[in-house]
Amino acid sequence: MIEGLSHVTFIVRDLDRMAYLLLAIFDAEEIYSSGDEKFSISREKFFVVGGIWVAIMEGDPLPEKTYNHVAFKIPDELFDDYLERIRLHGMEIREDRSRVKGEGRSVYFYDHDNHLFELHTGTLEQRLERYREGLIERS
């Protein structure tokens, strides 16, 4: 039986550069650094972001950008603050997709290794409710 999400791992070219982004944008807490040791396939660092274990490992970056992404929940009242952090650190912001009003706001951005992140203000329940309302309106 699945108990929940264990962790998310990102392969990055530069551990220190990614660590800085996790700390500066995501308010991550660094929990572990392997230093020069390789207990897994490469050097690694562990963080906690919003209660989620995030691992970064040294390696080749993704060859291209895609829409595959990880979304972290943020409070709506802090949306502009997070957007400013992303801009301040020079991250490439991806154009938002079309949205149904009331499902929350999002900002999508790529890191230096082509990973796409989303910071989202809504919840699954809000999105499903808006979709249900949309179906009723269209009927």
Residue 44 annotated to the active site:
yes
Q: Which entry of 3, 29, 37, 44 is annotated as an active-site residue?
A: 44
Sequence-distant (≥ 6) Cβ neighbours of residue 12 within 8 angstroms? 18, 56, 57, 58, 59, 61, 111, 112, 113, 115
Report the distance separating Cα 105 and Cα 43, nearest Å: 35
Instruction: Give CA 2 to chain center in angstroms.
Output: 22
Residue 108 near residue 116, CB atoms below 8 Å? yes
Catalytic residues: 44
